Amino acid sequence: MTKIIYIEHNGQKHEIEVANGLTVMEGAVQNNIPGIDADCGGGMSCATCHIYVKEDWYPKLQNKEPGEDDMLDQAFEPKANSRLSCQVTVSDELNGLVVHLPEKQV
Amino acid sequence: MIKTDALIIGAGPTGLFCAHQLGIIGLKCEIVDNLDKIGGQCIELYPDKPIYDIPAIPECTGEELTNNLIEQIKPFNINFHLSDRVQEIQKENENWIVKTFKGKEFLTPNIVIAGGVGSFEPRKLPTKSADKFDGKTVLYSIKDKTIFKDKSVVIFGGGDSALDWAIELSKSSKVTLIHRRDEFRGAQSSVDKVKELQKNNKLEIFTKYSIKDVKGNGKLESVEIKDDDGNSKLISADYVLGFFGLIMQLGPILDWGLNIDKKTIPVNTETFETNKQGIFAIGDICTYPGKLKLILSGFHEGALAARGCFKYARPDEKLRFEFTTTSKAVQNRLGLKND
């Protein structure tokens, strides 16, 4: 299990133990964290699991697959540290990862 | 008013196969979809992506799957009502009266919601100030391009829609194209064309900028854009066009008194009926213990929902279970010759 810290747009913080191998999106959905919609269910085709990764964590994540940036173009207020949480797989190296949730997904 | 045994909302794979199953048991149906084409997410989100988990089909694309389903339901001559959306439903005795956005009316004992994760709508500009110009000078689709002649048009987006309209409108409008990063995801030929137009001063491009504000008192005057460091720029504009792709929204379905659980509709797994009599939900939009959001589950759900529709469409008849391989009645419905 790996600790992932989800921070909602209103500041509400959720520290969740997520099983390795799940995505950051699945960790949020399975634990009913508001602010991650994941309409397409992890298919990288909807941009409604958009997160902002805390700056010092951003370079430590796996690189983006081709296509992720194309979807992020369509996200609500994407920034330089934006990711799709369905594309970030949880592993020991991400213990303590902090992700901020956008004001809304659509 | 169109009378039918069942109205299906959603022309994705689940809705299409449910139509097939209704046809097999001798019921008529009509299908409404908000998109301008048949196929739902398969055709809108991943027409070219291969799918590997359709039983007995090792590999097919979203488009191929859709085309095969269309072929499979051909014998039933089903009417499609595309680019339209079901807006209102009302119970009248044993039937539902269904009204669409475009003003069509249906009378049917059964409504089958196969709406995926909702209807596709254009994603809008994030700034609230854009709302008051929405549909007038802030637009997300173009119906009449002549309105832009000799006007200043600011286009947001990096995909094909944004690039194609930037190229087209640059012929007779002052176009500014704005995109949040350096790379465009549209076709390379369009990217090259846009850059050439920029070189020849036929249009302006600002990359690594996003929208900050839409300004104007009553009438749209300008848009303010910002870069990652917070530096902003003001660009005069008569029109703003946003091409940020599509989002999926449940829309009017939320107002029909159905139980809703996290954007999905709970159903019983015997007939896939919702808490409302004669309203069924199948595919990604329904939920029940063990629900898998797979196309194959949608097929199964559609087959059972079709049987659920039968008792309301033919209250005085008993449904006989028949195989397509052996039943003459079913084969007649499929338009096959029996000799």
Q: How far is CA B306 from CA A81, B80, B302, in A?
A: 47, 18, 6
* In chain A, % of residues over pLDDT 90: 77
C-beta atoms of B126 and A76 within 8 A: yes
Asked whether A5 and A97 are in contact (CB, 8 A), the reply is yes
A39: confidence class by pLDDT, cuts 50, 70, 90: confident
Per-residue pLDDT of chain B (339 residues; tens, 9 = 90+): 999 999 999 999 999 999 999 999 999 999 999 999 999 989 987 888 899 999 999 999 999 999 999 999 999 999 999 999 999 999 999 999 999 999 999 999 999 999 998 888 888 998 999 999 999 999 998 989 999 999 999 999 999 999 999 999 999 999 999 999 999 988 999 999 999 999 999 999 999 999 999 999 989 999 999 998 889 999 999 999 999 988 888 889 999 999 998 889 999 999 999 999 999 999 999 999 999 999 999 999 999 999 999 999 999 999 999 999 999 999 999 999 766
Q: Pick the last residue of a domain from B244, B273, B302.
A: B244
Same domain, B15 and B102: yes
Model confidence, pTM: 0.78
For residue B339, being part of any structural domain is answered with no
C-beta atoms of B245 and A41 within 8 A: no
Same domain, B210 and B264: no
For residue B311, being part of any structural domain is answered with yes
Mutate: best of A71, A74, A77, partner B, most B CBs <10 A: A74
C-beta atoms of B248 and A78 within 8 A: no
C-beta atoms of B181 and A73 within 8 A: yes
Same domain, B117 and B83: yes
For residue B338, being part of any structural domain is answered with no
**Residues in chain B whose Cβ is within 8 Å of chain A:** 41, 45-46, 117-118, 123, 126, 157-159, 179-181, 183, 185, 210, 228, 244-245, 247-249, 263, 284, 293
State the maximum Cα–Cα separation within chain B, in Å, rounded to a whole number. Answer: 78
Q: Pick the last residue of a domain from B244, B279, B299.
A: B244
Q: In angstroms, rounded to a whole number, what is the distance separating the alpha carbons of residues A62 and B91?
A: 53
Which residues of chain A neighbour B46 with C-beta distances below 8 Å? 43, 45
Q: In angstroms, rounded to a whole number, what is the distance separating the alpha carbons of residues B92 and B86?
A: 17
Helix axes B13-24, B62-73, angle to 10 degrees: 20
**A47 Cα to chain B: minimum distance (Å):** 9
Query: Is 0.90 exceeded by the ipTM?
Result: no
For residue B184, being part of any structural domain is answered with yes
Which residues of chain B neighbour A73 with C-beta distances below 8 Å? 157-159, 179-181, 185, 244-245
Instruction: Show the domain range for B162.
Output: 124-244
Q: Pick the last residue of a domain from B198, B229, B244.
A: B244
Which residues of chain B neighbour A37 with C-beta distances below 8 Å? 263
Residues in chain B: 339
Q: What is the DSSP string of B73-113?
A: HGGG--EEE-S--EEEEEEETTEEEEEETTS-EEEES-EEE
Same domain, B257 and B290: yes
Could you tell me the two tokens for B167? Answer: 């190229």
Counted domains in chain B: 2
Q: What is the domain partition of chain A in residue ranges?
A: 2-100
Q: Does the domain made of A2-100 have the CATH classification 3.30.390.30? A: no
Helix (H) or strand (E) holding B176: strand B174-179
* Residue A64 region by backbone torsions, left for phi larger than 0, else alpha for psi between -120 and 50, else beta: beta
Q: How many C-beta neighbours within 10 Å does residue B53 have?
A: 10
- The CA-CA-CA angle for residues B204, B208, B213, to 5°, reads 80
Q: How many C-beta neighbours within 10 Å does residue B250 have?
A: 19
Measuring CA to CA, which residue among B160, B148, B4, B154 is closest to residue B78?
Answer: B4
Provide the CATH number for the domain around residue B50.
Answer: 3.50.50.60
Measuring CA to CA, which residue among B309, B318, B319, B320 is closest to residue B95?
Answer: B309
